[in-house]
Every structure is written in C-alpha cells, then in structure tokens.
Amino acid sequence: MHNPFVPETLEGWSVLHLMYRVRWDRLKAHTPADRERIAVEAARALAVPDAGSTALVRVLGHKADLMVICFRRGFDELAHAQQALAQTELHDLIEPTSSYVSVVELGMYEMTAKIHEQLGAKFKPGSDDFDRAFDAEMETQRQRVMSRLFLDMPRARYVCFYPMNKRRCEALNWYTEAFERRAEMMREHGVIGRHYAGKVTQVISGSIGFDDWEWGVDLFAADPLVFKKLIYEMRFDEASAKFAEFGPFYTGLQFAPSQLATFLNGGVPAPLA
C-alpha cells in the first residue's frame, strides 16, 4: 500500500565514498618507480568491469588526503571495488578516515501527490488495482529520468561532498510537517538549485538505513566558489534554515587514475582531460 503522505523516491547508482590519509612517511621508502607501479595497480583495481565509474579526489585540509567515489550497479559491485583496492599495495600505505554508503536518489514530492490524485479518481486508494496502477506509473517516471539516476561521473575539476539530515527534534521535526508544506519547501529549495544549472552538477544520494546521515550530496564544478555561493544561498530557504543539519564537508580536486602516480610522488595531479 502506498502512503500518500510519504514522498516516493527513484533510485539509481549505488554509491561508495572512501576517504583515506596517505602515510607519506611510509611512501618515502619507495622509489618513484615503485610509486608508479603501486599507482598502476591501484588504478587497475578501481577500473569498472561492467557499468559505473570511479572518481579520485585530492582532498584539501586535514580530514583526508584522498577520496575515492564509486558509482556501481549495486552493493555487491561496491564491495568488489572496496575489496579490490584493499588487496593492493597502495592500501598498505593509506589509512581510512571515513566512508559513506548511499544510493543515487530523486525525490518525487510533487509527482507523488499528482499520481495519488489522478489514480484516486479511478481506483480506490489501497486497493490492488490502485497499487498496480501506481507501480506502473512510477516505472514510467523511472524510465523518463534514467539518465539522472545512472549518470556518468561528472568530470569537473572541483568536488565537494557532505552528508546531511532533515531535523527531527521536538520543536522542529521535518517528518511531522504536513505533506503539502514539505512539498512547498522542497519546491522553493529546488528553484535555487536550478539557478546554478550549467555551473554545478549536484548528485543527491539517499542513505537512510545505510549510513549515519540521511542523504549524501556531491557537487561538481569548474569553479569551487560555486559551492560556497550555492550552499550559502540555499541556507536562506526555509527547508534549510529551519530543518537542515550538515555533516563534515570534503572538498578537493578531481584527477584521472593515470595521475595517481603524480599524487603519490608529491605533485598536484592535473585536471581531467
């Protein structure tokens, strides 16, 4: 039975973020040729055998040195990528500092209400006929947005990742707000994001039941100042100002796997070609 007060979601790639600190003290004992060999082995381990993509990010600040982002078909494929990296020589030279598990998600606030209204005029809500028609319509919507659910990894130079929640405290609880009120706030929130179309690619992934926060947000842009401006502006909308809670931010420079040796040798990897 489909609850009319719970917005439906559509899911795509399974997503894994792995954050590591490089043991530079251990790397010093290796020659440049060793580091090249180690980099080639690690890049090969993270190559995508079937479907998906991988991003490497040189993280700024103390939280991590390297972030690996994996888009894969499912959790089995994520496990394969994580295990493949764990079996490389590079893994002996890095230490995990954090990780995040999620699934690319598109929220369907407005569409959920519209489908319930349309189908409610034809079928009794909660009936088998209603549920079958609802599932068929959701599959139609899923096919319509497949390119957003299974997008290629954006190739922009700068990447920002952070997890977030919707507040659930006694005074302000997102989940006890009326459906129409939540939909209205999310509509306002989305309008701000659309103002940055062409400047930033935003990938929202759901993590309820998978990790410590409710959503993960990845931002990709050619200019890192866009991250500051977008997030700052969004904090003035009601959905964020009253109900958003943010986790740690990871910001850095994306580079190609072929540049991993440059990174291990102490250089700044070149942007993606």
* 94: Cβ contacts below 8 Å, ≥ 6 apart: 20, 21, 22, 23, 65, 66
Q: How far is CA 260 from CA 37, 52, 67, 107, 256, in A?
A: 10, 20, 12, 35, 7
Question: Tokens at residue 125, please?
Answer: 């809500």
Determine which one of 20, 109, 158, 162 is catalytic: 162
Decide: 119 and 133 in contact? Cβ < 8 Å: yes
SS3 107: strand
The enclosing H or E element of 262 equals: helix 260-264
Q: Is 162 a catalytic residue?
A: yes
Cα distance between residue 270 and residue 231, in whole Å: 27
Closest by CA to 189, choosing from 175, 176, 204, 207, is: 204
SS3 255: strand
**Residues marked as catalytic:** 162
